[in-house]
Copies of this chain bind each other. A is one copy, B any other.
Amino acid sequence: MVLRGKAMEPVGERGESLVDAAYGALKHAIRESVFAPGYQASAGELALRLGVSRTPVHEAALRLQEEGLVRILPKRGILICALAPHDIAEIYEVLIAIEAGAAELSARLPDAARLALADDLDRATSEMGQALAAGDLAAWGHADEAFHRLLVEGCGNGRFARIIQTVNDQSHRARMLTLRLRPRLPASEAEHRDTSEAIRRGLPGLAREAARRHRIRARGELLPLIESVGLRHM
């Protein structure tokens, strides 16, 4: 039983089950790269770190495997999954398809919900602008994230939100990397405004195309960047 690396937060005992606690702690640790991709842990080690027995860790690992964050190698251990450029490409295709659908749905919402959503989206976009002006990379990332999250959570289709959540969990680490790598922050604001404006005016086709164009352009910037830097896994 090897305990290398920094310690993890013991699970908090707040009503939630130990499985949920372990799931949350492990997911957070993976997102924040406490475990490097490719790291192979054992359930026993993780259980020790979290202060629970192996069972809840194992069950949490099952859930994480279902989401593609880890792989359980039979009789060998728990492998933290790495993302290859190919995976990023796949994830962008999911984003393009689902977010375009979400934008279209949003534009079909009843007036009140539609206008409220558009306002929320614009608020997030404005925050991006402020962050950009202040040169605050992290704030820009958060605001951008908020925009896209609002879009899929506001559209009314819970399955869309869930799918996006899954691929976002997978790509969070890569996102943090590429945010830093990008030579200049992309001019996403105008495209965000196109999307929110189409939603506000209740034009489904326009909204779909705006969301779609936005993600396609972002992909066109990101993938070559990753290739050029030669990132093999992240």
Contacts and interface: CB of A to CB of B under 8 A. Distances in A.
Q: How many copies does the complex hold?
A: 2
A50 interface: no
Nearest to A74: B17
A100 interface: yes
Interface in A148-194: 157-160, 163, 167
A202 interface: no
Q: Is the interface of A mostly helix, strand, loop or mixed?
A: helix
Interface string A88-103: 0011011011101100
Contact of A67 (B66, B97, B167): B66
B93 A97 contact: no
B157 A93 contact: yes
A164 to B, nearest CB: 11
Interface residues of A, number: 24
Contact of A91 (B66, B97, B159): B159
A63 interface: yes
A177 B94 CA distance: 30
A68 to B, nearest CB: 8
| A-B residue pairs, 7 tightest by C-beta | A97-B101, A66-B66, A97-B97, A90-B159, A90-B157, A94-B159, A93-B157
Interface of A: 17, 58-59, 62-63, 66-67, 74, 90-91, 93-94, 96-98, 100-101, 105, 157-160, 163, 167
